A and B are shown apart, each in its own frame.
Chain A
Amino acid sequence: MANIWTIAVHELRRLFRSCSMLINLFLLPILLIFLLGSALSSVMGGGKDQTIESFRVGIVDAGNPAERSQLIGNFLKSPQVAEIITAETADSREAAVSGVRSGQYGYAVIVPAGFDKDMVTGKEAKLEYILGKNRTDNMIAGTVFDNFLGSINYKQAAAMTLGPQAISAMTESGQGNPAAVLGKLNDGAPAYTASQYYAAAMLLMFLLLCGQMVITSLYSEKDNHTLFRIGSMPVKGRELFIGKMLGIGLVSVLQCASIIVATRFLFGVYWGNRPGLLMLVCLLMIFASLTLSVIISMFVRSAALARAVLSGLTVVMTFMSGGMAPLPDAWVNTGGAFSINHWGMKGILRMMLESPWAQISGSIGMLSLICLVLGSMAFFSYRKVGYHA
C-alpha cells in the first residue's frame, strides 16, 4: 500500500509540474465550454420559457381566384392557428419574398396551383416555404404547416388504401387524445441551456481524454528506462500500475471538480440537484477512460499511436453522442448508443433537468456495465501482455 501511495503522489507531482498539462486539464475545458456555449446559445435556447407572439405570414395562392385552396383557407381560419399566425394574402411570389425581406411578413407560404385538386386526385400535398429573419417564427410556422401537410397526407393515404370510411374512423378514435400535450419533459426544472449542454459534453470528453495521461505515463516509464529500474526494486507490478491509475484518477477528479465549479460560477451552469449521482457518473467515466487507455497501451507499440487512437475514439464518441453539435435524435439513439459519452450525457442532462431517478438509473446502469466490460478487458490484457521495460 505504501508503494501504491508513493507512486500515486509521484504521478501527481509530475503532472502538476507540466504547464501544458495543466492548461489542457483545467483551462482548455472552461474555454471550450465558454466558446461553444456562447456561440451556439441561439441553437439551444436560453433555458427560459418563451412566449409565442403572433406574427404575419404571407400566403401566395398561385391558382386562379376561383381555384384558391379552400383547405388552406379553412386551416388558417381555425382559431388555434389564427391565434399564432396572422395570414395575409400576397399577390405573387416576388411580393412575398420582398415582404419577408422588408420584415412585413415573418414567413411566407406559396400554395401551388391546383393544390386542392391534387389532393382529391391522390397526389402528394406540397407547399413552398420562404423563411423569415426570426428563427423562432420560422420554427413555429414550419411546424404548423408541416403538421398540416403531414395530417393531410396521412388521411389521404388512409383513404386510398382503406376507403373513405377510414378517415371518419380515425377522427372518432382520435377524439379526446390530443396529438400533443403542452408541458415539460423535466420535473419542474427549466430546460437546459447551450452552456449546460456543452458543459456536460465537454466534461465527458475531457474525462475520456484523461486516458492520455495514462498513455503518456506508461510509455514515458519505458522511454526513460525508469521502468527497468523499478522492476529491479521491491515493487510489485500491480502496485506500480494501481499507483499510476490512482494518481491520474485523482487528477481527473480534480479536473472534473474544477470544470463543474468553474462553469457553475462563471457561466451559471446548473448541474442538477443530485451531486452524488453526478460524481458517480464522472467516476464511471474516469474509470472507463483509464481502462480504455490501458487496453490501448497494452496492444499499441508507440505512445504517439496510442494517443492518436484514444483521441480518435474520444472525438468520434463525443460526436456520435451529440457532444459537438446536437444531432437528430434518431442518430444519437442508434449510433450514439454505442459510445460511452452517450450514456454519461444522457444521465447528466437528466440530472440537469431534475428528472426522477427512474429516468437516470438506466444511463448509470449502462455506464456501469460498460465500465465492467472495459475493466475486465483491461485486467485480462494486463495479465496477458504485461507491462515490461
Chain B
Amino acid sequence: MALAQLSDVVKRYDSKLTVDHVNLSIREGEILGLLGPNGAGKSTTISMLCGLLKMDGGSIVIDGISVAQQPLEAKKRIGLVPQDLALYEDLTAWENAAFFGKLYGLRGGLLKERVQEALEFTGLADRAKDKPATFSGGMKRRLNIVCAIMHRPKLIIMDEPTVGIDPQSRNHILESVKALNKLGSTVIYTSHYMEEVEAICDRVAIMDKGHIIACGTEKELRERVAHEEKIVIKAGNIAPELIRELKQHPRVTRVEGESDTVEMYLPSSQSELQDILFIFAKHGGVIQTLQIEEPDLETLFLSLTGRTLRD
C-alpha cells in the first residue's frame, strides 16, 4: 500500500524542466532511497513533497491527503530533515526541539515527553541544555533529526542528512534511520552516496535530469546490469597510449584512468581478460592488483546515463 504517491509531477524554473513528469510510489513502512547526482532534481522533488514548492503539474498525495489541496493536513504527517542544518544557534537543544514540537501542535506534558524521547533516541539527552554552537558537526546533524521526529510522523524525509560529518556520526545517523523505520515510520532518504543507500534502503529510485530513470530493490536494479562487470587494475607506469588502446577495445564500454588505477566496464571479464593483460604488457604497465567487481548501483547509473553519480 502506498503512503505517498507522486503522479506526473512537474516543476519548471523559467523554461527549464527541473522535475519532468515524475511518477513515484512510496510504500508504507519502507525506506526508499532517492539517489542521483547533484542537480538531478531530488531536492526540488522533496520540496514539492513537503509543500515548500508549488508544482507546475501533476499531484502528490500523502496518506490519502492531497498536498496541493490540504497542505497543512499533509504537512502534519511529514517530518523533514533538511540538507542544511536548520537550527537556532542561540537556543539550547531542548529549546530548539520544543519550539519545533509546538509548531507541530505538541503541548504540555506530551511535548516534554516527546522532546526527551527524541533527544534520547539520538543520544543527545545529556546535552539538552547546551546550545548547538558547542556541538560537533555530527551532533548538530542529530539535533537536526530530533526537530523532525518529535511528532512521530508517518513519513520522514531525510535530505542528505550525512553531508560533511565523520564516519562515526554517519553510522549513528544510519542506525537511527533504521531504528525509526522499525518504529513504524516510512522514510525517504536522499543521497548521492551509493553506499549509504545500499546499506539501509529497501528500494531505490535513481533520479537524473528531473526523471526517475530506475526504481526497484537493490537486487532488481543489480540484475539490470548483471551483464556488465567492472575491472579495477592498480598498476604502475600507466601511459596515455595504454588508456587510449583500452578505450578502443570493442568490448570495453567505458574506461576511467587515474595516476595508478584504471577502472573499466565490459560485458564479461573472463573472455576479455587476456586481451586486457596483453595491452598492459604492450605499453609497459606493471600490474600490482586486479579486481573484478560485481555490478552495483554506480554501475547501473553509469550504464543508464553514461556518467558517474559524483560527476
* Interface residue tally on A, bucketed by range: 20 to 34
Stretch at the interface among B94-102, B176-184, B200-208, B303-311: B94-102
Contacts of B85 in A (CB 8 A): 225
A301 at the interface (CB under 8 A from B): no
Contacts of B80 in A (CB 8 A): 229, 232
B91-113 toward A: CB 8 Å interface, digit per residue (1/0)?
A: 10001000110111100000000
Stretch at the interface among A12-20, A61-69, A85-93, A336-344: A12-20
Task: Tell me how far the C-beta of A314 lies from the nearest C-beta in chain B, rounded to whole angstroms.
Answer: 25
Task: Tell me how far the C-beta of B75 lies from the nearest C-beta in chain A, rounded to whole angstroms.
Answer: 4
Contacts of B51 in A (CB 8 A): 231-232
Q: Which of B75, B88, B105 lies in contact with A232, CB distance below 8 A?
A: B75
Question: What's the Cα separation between A7 and B100 when bound, in Å?
Answer: 10
Query: Is there contact, CB below 8 Å, between B82 and A234?
Result: no
Contacts of B254 in A (CB 8 A): none
Q: Which of A10, A17, A18, A228 lies in contact with B52, CB distance below 8 A?
A: A228
Query: Is there contact, CB below 8 Å, between B50 and A235?
Result: no
Q: Which of B75, B82, B90 lies in contact with A17, CB distance below 8 A?
A: B90
Q: Which chain B residues (44-78) contact chain A, with CB distance < 8 Å?
A: 50-52, 72-73, 75-76, 78
A230 at the interface (CB under 8 A from B): yes
Contacts of A13 in B (CB 8 A): 91, 95
A169 at the interface (CB under 8 A from B): no
State the total of A-B contacts with C-beta under 8 angstroms. 62
Q: Which of A2, A229, A231, A389 lies in contact with B100, CB distance below 8 A?
A: A229
Question: What's the Cα separation between A39 and B99 when bound, in Å?
Answer: 47
A330 at the interface (CB under 8 A from B): no
A226 at the interface (CB under 8 A from B): yes
Q: Which of A2, A10, A228, A235 lies in contact with B86, CB distance below 8 A?
A: A228
B84 at the interface (CB under 8 A from A): yes
Query: Is there contact, CB below 8 Å, between B103 and A235?
Result: yes
B89 at the interface (CB under 8 A from A): yes
B10 at the interface (CB under 8 A from A): no
Query: Is there contact, CB below 8 Å, between A225 and B95?
Result: no
Query: Is there contact, CB below 8 Å, between B76 and A234?
Result: yes
B147 at the interface (CB under 8 A from A): yes
Task: Tell me how far the C-beta of B246 lies from the nearest C-beta in chain A, rounded to whole angstroms.
Answer: 46
B87 at the interface (CB under 8 A from A): yes
Contacts of A232 in B (CB 8 A): 50-52, 75, 78, 80, 82
A3 at the interface (CB under 8 A from B): yes
A134 at the interface (CB under 8 A from B): no
- Known contacts A234-B75, A234-B103; decide if A228 and B91 are in contact (CB<8 Å): no
Contacts of B91 in A (CB 8 A): 13-14, 17
Contacts of A133 in B (CB 8 A): none
CB-CB nearest in chain B for A17? B90
CB-CB nearest in chain B for A236? B72
A6 at the interface (CB under 8 A from B): yes
Classify the secondary structure of A's interface with B.
helix
Q: Which chain A residues (323-373) contact chain B, with CB distance < 8 Å?
A: none
Q: Which of A6, A14, A229, A389 lies in contact with B90, CB distance below 8 A?
A: A14
Contacts of A231 in B (CB 8 A): 50-52
Question: What's the Cα separation between A256 and B248 when bound, in Å?
Answer: 80
Contacts of A235 in B (CB 8 A): 103
Indicate the member of A226, A229, A230, A231 with the most B CB atoms within 10 Å: A229
Contacts of A120 in B (CB 8 A): none
Question: What's the Cα separation between A226 and B97 when bound, in Å?
Answer: 12
Query: Is there contact, CB below 8 Å, between A224 and B103?
Result: no
Question: What's the Cα separation between A224 and B89 when bound, in Å?
Answer: 8
Indicate the member of A230, A231, A235, A236 with the most B CB atoms within 10 Å: A231
Query: Is there contact, CB below 8 Å, between A10 and B72?
Result: no
Contacts of A17 in B (CB 8 A): 90-91
Q: Which chain A residues (1-55) contact chain B, with CB distance < 8 Å?
A: 2-3, 6-7, 10, 13-14, 17-18
Question: What's the Cα separation between A7 and B80 when bound, in Å?
Answer: 19
Question: What's the Cα separation between A18 and B148 when bound, in Å?
Answer: 26
Q: Which chain A residues (54-104) contact chain B, with CB distance < 8 Å?
A: none
- Known contacts A225-B82, A232-B80; decide if A6 and B102 are in contact (CB<8 Å): yes
A233 at the interface (CB under 8 A from B): yes
Task: Tell me how far the C-beta of A247 lies from the nearest C-beta in chain B, rounded to whole angstroms.
Answer: 12
Question: What's the Cα separation between A1 and B29 when bound, in Å?
Answer: 34
Question: What's the Cα separation between A239 and B75 when bound, in Å?
Answer: 15
- Known contacts A224-B89, A232-B78; decide if A10 and B99 are in contact (CB<8 Å): yes
CB-CB nearest in chain A for B75? A234
Question: What's the Cα separation between A313 and B130 when bound, in Å?
Answer: 39
Task: Tell me how far the C-beta of B277 lies from the nearest C-beta in chain A, rounded to whole angstroms.
Answer: 53
Query: Is there contact, CB below 8 Å, between B103 and A225?
Result: no
Contacts of B86 in A (CB 8 A): 224-226, 228-229
Contacts of A3 in B (CB 8 A): 103
Query: Is there contact, CB below 8 Å, between B84 and A18?
Result: no
Query: Is there contact, CB below 8 Å, between B84 and A228?
Result: yes
Task: Tell me how far the C-beta of A388 lies from the nearest C-beta in chain B, rounded to whole angstroms.
Answer: 8
Task: Tell me how far the C-beta of B306 lies from the nearest C-beta in chain A, rounded to whole angstroms.
Answer: 33
- Known contacts A228-B84, A389-B52; decide if A233 and B90 are in contact (CB<8 Å): no
Query: Is there contact, CB below 8 Å, between A224 and B100?
Result: no
Contacts of B90 in A (CB 8 A): 14, 17-18
Query: Is there contact, CB below 8 Å, between A234 and B87?
Result: no
Task: Tell me how far the C-beta of B311 lies from the nearest C-beta in chain A, rounded to whole angstroms.
Answer: 27
Point out residues on A near B: beta carbons under 8 Å: 2-3, 6-7, 10, 13-14, 17-18, 224-226, 228-236, 389
- Beyond A3-B103, A229-B100, A232-B80, 10 additional contacts (C-beta under 8 Å) are A2-B102, A17-B91, A225-B84, A229-B80, A229-B82, A229-B148, A230-B103, A232-B50, A233-B75, A234-B73
Instruction: Give 6 nearest A-B pairs by CB, closest first.
Output: A229-B86, A232-B50, A232-B80, A225-B84, A225-B86, A234-B72
| CB-defined A-B contacts under 8 Å, sample of 27 | A3-B103, A6-B99, A6-B102, A6-B103, A7-B103, A10-B99, A13-B91, A14-B88, A14-B90, A17-B90, A17-B91, A225-B84, A225-B85, A225-B86, A226-B88, A228-B52, A228-B82, A228-B86, A229-B86, A229-B147, A230-B103, A231-B51, A232-B52, A232-B78, A233-B100, A233-B103, A234-B73
